[in-house]
Structure 1
Amino acid sequence: MNKKLKEKILEALSSVLPITLIVAFLSITIAPLSVGTLVLFLVGAMLLIVGMGFFSLGSDMSMMPIGDGIGAQLTRSKNLLLIIGIGLLIGTVITIAEPDLKVLATQVPAVPDMVLILTVAVGVGLFLVVAMLRTIFRIKLSHMLIAFYLLVFILSIFVPNDFIPVAFDSGGVTTGPITVPFIMALGIGMASIRGDKNSQDDSFGLVALCSIGPILAVMLLGIFYNPSTANYQPSTISDPSTTVDVAQAFGSNFPVYFEEVLVALVPILVFSILFQLISHFFRRKQLVKVGVGMVYTFIGLVLFLTGANVGFMPAGQFIGSSIAASPYKWLLIPIGMVIGYFIVTAEPAVHVLNRQVEEISQGAIPQKSMRLCLSIGVAVSIGLSMVRVLTGISIYWILIPGYAIAIGLTFFVPPIFTGIAFDSGGVASGPMTATFLLPFAMGACESLGGNILNDAFGVVAMVAMTPLITIQLMGLIYKKKMARIADDAAKENADDADDIIDYEEISE
């Protein structure tokens, strides 16, 4: 086996193993799973581990270099019309192909699926253009975030209540494992060409702004269509009784995700071919490496999405339902927090973000610190989500103060942490949230007799919000640490200067 692939698979094993052990423990204590559901979950976990290994290596070999190269070449061209056209096209086409967007479309039956998909995709495309122009014209990210989130909350006043959680969820759903590595690399490539002292700070922020576009798009749809209902129709979760049923469940879904991932990667492949034909950016050996990386990425995503959707979704919904139906329904909060703490490390795009942050910061922001802050953030978000499920309180009571704190922190932390924090929100709310945490909340809400659309949906939005705060708090700690180091260095230099003066006086 390829040495690097082996390392990536072992890294994935360490990420998936904790959540696997937690589910296994719950299945023999307060939430006994049927044998069929448990086998589905365990097979799904194995597919996740292998899939994450392939995806992680493939992303490093192909998605990141392609995005980085396109971003660098666009910046060098200094052709605004070309940048706007390419940005709009890339953002729209890649988002249409994002598998998670199809799931979102089924959540709003009052709006035709293709209308919703196209509107959200155009929203991402427009905001990718905005994000690219921000990098070129060196506009401060915090100012744009304040303006756009203020617009989001003002617009939400006119949106039907049933659309609010779905609209905020869409911001996380559309920044999935396919779009995130490419868009992140695009931003890093564009910033690297500038070469000024603030280019490092502007390497991040594209994902953050692209996450706002879908929120505004779904809100506008809610206002425009003004539907009388937006009831969610949950999909039927199977409970296989034999190992043959388990094999058939995975076997019948492999072709589905094979096709979805193929459709999703084709636009990136087409863009990369056109880019190479025009720019001749990659040499022959690099092209071979990129090609192999695309194959690895394809294999990884097919395995990962099949494992997550077929294996994890039934387990998440059943565990949530069982705990809520027990006399100890309050355990939803601590158990949800523990699951949230560990499950975020199983998000494939999180590993991509953490590596990029460590590389761009030249090791000043280590992957270990990023993982800890993301885990704490997601744990808090799932705890708050379970409070919503148990009490039915409006998502506004959490989102408005949360975003106010997040935006307020932007005035006190180094700019690079603002970009990383708001990017991490979109990255953390990926397929693992949609296939395990959302069904977990739905199962609990259904057992409690709550409104699934209002009380269960919003989990993705919560997961996308809390890392904005925890990563920026890490930025505050980092800022104080750097200030203390600078003070110590200044004091040491002052002491050395005093010693020199004393020596000169003695010599005289």
Structure 2
Amino acid sequence: MNIFAKFKETVSSVLPIMVMVLLLGLTIAPMSFGTMSRFVLGGILVIFGLTIFLLGVDIGILPIGERSGAALTAKRNLPLLLGAAFLIGFIVTVAEPDVQVLADQVRGIAPNVSKWGLIFMIAVGVGFFVALGILRTVLSIPLNILLTISYIFVFVLAFLAPPTFQGVAFDSGGATTGPMTVPFIMALGVGVAAVRAKSDKNGKLKSSSEDSFGLTGIASIGPVLAVIVYGIILSGGNSSSADSVTESSHGLIASGIAVFLKLLPSIFKEVAGALAPLAGMALLFQFLLLKMPPMQVVRMVRGFVMSFIGLILFLTGAQGGFMPAGEELGKVLGAASQTGSLWTLLLVFVGLVFGAIVVCAEPAVWVLTDQVESISGGTIKRKVMLGALSSGVAISIGISMLRVLHGFSLWYILIPGYALALILSFICPKLFTGIAFDSGGVASGPMTSTFILSFTLGASEASDGNPAVDAFGVIALVAMTPLIAIQILGIIFKIKSNRAENSHSELVMESTEAAE
């Protein structure tokens, strides 16, 4: 894909949020001129940064995932495959921009939490469950059985974690499946499924298309479990972070470009530390496993350089402009909601609108709807899919605003939501279940991790709530929506397919009887 197509995708993702914020900031929720100007500049950096980053991932990083998955599976060495799967899951998660943004958000309200300690725990969780997902593919373990057992274990353990870590843990599951992790893990899964084959009764080889989906859904369980364990460990002792709390990007520092320039050195260091292990892994695989020709190696290097530059621009724009504006807008509307029910309704309505805009603007959602329409043979239309996802995500963020204002437990939504999703997994066609759990992170893209979470944090703080408990969880709710929506559509597809088959059978029988 060329850079202009990527640029168009990124603009369509970021621009609707920018327009909405500017309209609110200039009318009913006035924000300071400095915040507004930094938001515009930050939005420009986010657009260009995300464009360059995604293009670099496409040309330099994704091919490594596909080739590695195929090459490792072809070795027929299960311990090697699982070890490499853990390493890949760990390293790409460390490099994931959404995870770094989430870690910054957590550290902003909980200074005792180590940013890199949290990132490494999330990465360990992803690595372990990626390996588990590969093992499921190799052993042909039913996806719904593995998901059900894993989520029951997660929810039981979550009740032992401190309340401040419960929302963060489930948010990490959605944030982890971002623009770096999802494509790489899916590419790895496709590579493994392409090489692995099954023998039918006639001894012929056939591949299982169902095995191509579900790996990302399994991987997203890992960070939830890891952060829960991390929270239990921290609550067990007087742990203090070795990280120094950096000055907030929206604090008392010079306005305008100076804010972004001040952020650059620390972000440069963080991005270098995040991508260096991934580059080292790519070199290791090249020498020991892939042995790509020089032209492909040059292409890989170019992709890494583009990803490095793009990630720096993206994080600088997000931390310097996007996140502060989201937080200030949330504070303005959150404070106003305390003055009357009309403003309360307005805050919820703004959350609903943001939800609808975010999910429709995510490029990955359009890819997903195309995929489902193709698999269903046109039975499930893209417009229906977009409508279901848009409505679900809008409701999720609207509920999050009500949580901020009234402080009711996250479990009231997550437990019935995941229970329904798991029950549907036993009714829905297996292929749609895999796609549904893979797509849980599709809706919770960069805009959710940067702007929506900041907006929720600001609203919670201004309404005298507890941001650590009431605000975190919004990404988890957004990520939960596709699990239900896509499986319901899968059941509809199954019903329509059965009706079509029955009609066809009746026509054949009538034709046979007429011929006789």
What's the TM-score once normalised by structure 1's chain length?
0.87
Aligned match of 2:408 in 375, 378, 393? Answer: 393
Q: Which amino acid aligns with 1:125?
A: G
Q: Which amino acid aligns with 2:320?
A: V
Matched, 1:208 2:223: no
Aligned match of 1:186 in 182, 188, 194? Answer: 188
Displacement, 1:96? 3.5
Give the total of aligned pairs: 497
SS of corresponding position for 1:162? helix
What CA distance in whole angstroms lies between the structure 1 residues aligned with 2:225 and 2:188? Answer: 23
SS of corresponding position for 2:248? coil
What CA distance in whole angstroms lies between the structure 1 residues aligned with 2:84 and 2:426? Answer: 32
| Structure 1 equivalent of residue 155 of structure 2 | 153
Aligned match of 1:24 in 22, 25, 36? Answer: 22
SS of corresponding position for 1:126? helix
Aligned match of 2:78 in 74, 77, 80? Answer: 80
Displacement, 1:317? 1.1
Displacement, 1:369? 6.2
Q: Which amino acid aligns with 1:236?
A: S
Displacement, 1:295? 3.1
SS of corresponding position for 2:48? helix
Q: 1:281 to 1:365 in 2, by over 3 A?
A: farther
What's the TM-score once normalised by structure 2's chain length?
0.86
What CA distance in whole angstroms lies between the structure 2 residues aligned with 1:286 and 1:473? Answer: 42
Aligned match of 1:317 in 320, 323, 327? Answer: 327
| Structure 2 equivalent of residue 506 of structure 1 | none
SS of corresponding position for 2:35? helix
Aligned match of 1:380 in 395, 398, 404? Answer: 395
Identity over aligned pairs, percent: 47
| Structure 2 equivalent of residue 60 of structure 1 | 58
What CA distance in whole angstroms lies between the structure 2 residues aligned with 1:436 and 1:141? Answer: 33
What CA distance in whole angstroms lies between the structure 1 residues aligned with 2:149 and 2:10? Answer: 38
Structure 1, residues 194-233: CA drift from partner, whole Å, max 9, x if none?
2456622121222222221222222223333435899999
Q: 1:231 to 1:286 in 2, by over 3 A?
A: closer
What CA distance in whole angstroms lies between the structure 2 residues aligned with 1:84 and 1:239? Answer: 45
Q: Could you tell me whether the CA contact under 8 Å between 1:104 and 1:170 is conserved in 2?
A: no
Displacement, 1:387? 1.3
Q: Could you tell me whether the CA contact under 8 Å between 2:194 and 2:207 is conserved in 1?
A: no
What CA distance in whole angstroms lies between the structure 2 residues aligned with 1:11 and 1:116? Answer: 31
Aligned match of 2:492 in 473, 477, 480? Answer: 477
Displacement, 1:281? 5.2
Note the aligned Cα RMSD (angstroms).
3.2
What CA distance in whole angstroms lies between the structure 2 residues aligned with 1:114 and 1:315? Answer: 25
Q: Could you tell me whether the CA contact under 8 Å between 2:349 and 2:398 is conserved in 1?
A: yes
Q: Could you tell me whether the CA contact under 8 Å between 1:358 and 1:366 is conserved in 2?
A: yes
| Structure 2 equivalent of residue 135 of structure 1 | 137
| Structure 2 equivalent of residue 221 of structure 1 | 230
What CA distance in whole angstroms lies between the structure 1 residues aligned with 2:299 and 2:356? Answer: 35
Q: Which amino acid aligns with 2:398?
A: G
Q: Could you tell me whether the CA contact under 8 Å between 1:63 and 1:181 is conserved in 2?
A: no
Q: Could you tell me whether the CA contact under 8 Å between 2:154 and 2:225 is conserved in 1?
A: yes
Q: Which amino acid aligns with 2:217?
A: A
| Structure 1 equivalent of residue 176 of structure 2 | 174
Q: Which amino acid aligns with 1:210?
A: A
SS of corresponding position for 1:176? coil
Deviates more, 1:191-200 or 1:63-72: 191-200
Matched, 1:252 2:262: yes
Q: 1:225 to 1:272 in 2, by over 3 A?
A: closer
| Structure 2 equivalent of residue 451 of structure 1 | 466
What CA distance in whole angstroms lies between the structure 2 residues aligned with 1:29 and 1:230? Answer: 45
Displacement, 1:187? 0.8
Q: 1:19 to 1:66 in 2, by over 3 A?
A: same
Counterparts of 1:276-287 in structure 2, within 5 Å, are: 276-280=286-290, 282-287=292-297
Counterparts of 1:401-440 in structure 2, within 5 Å, are: 401-440=416-455
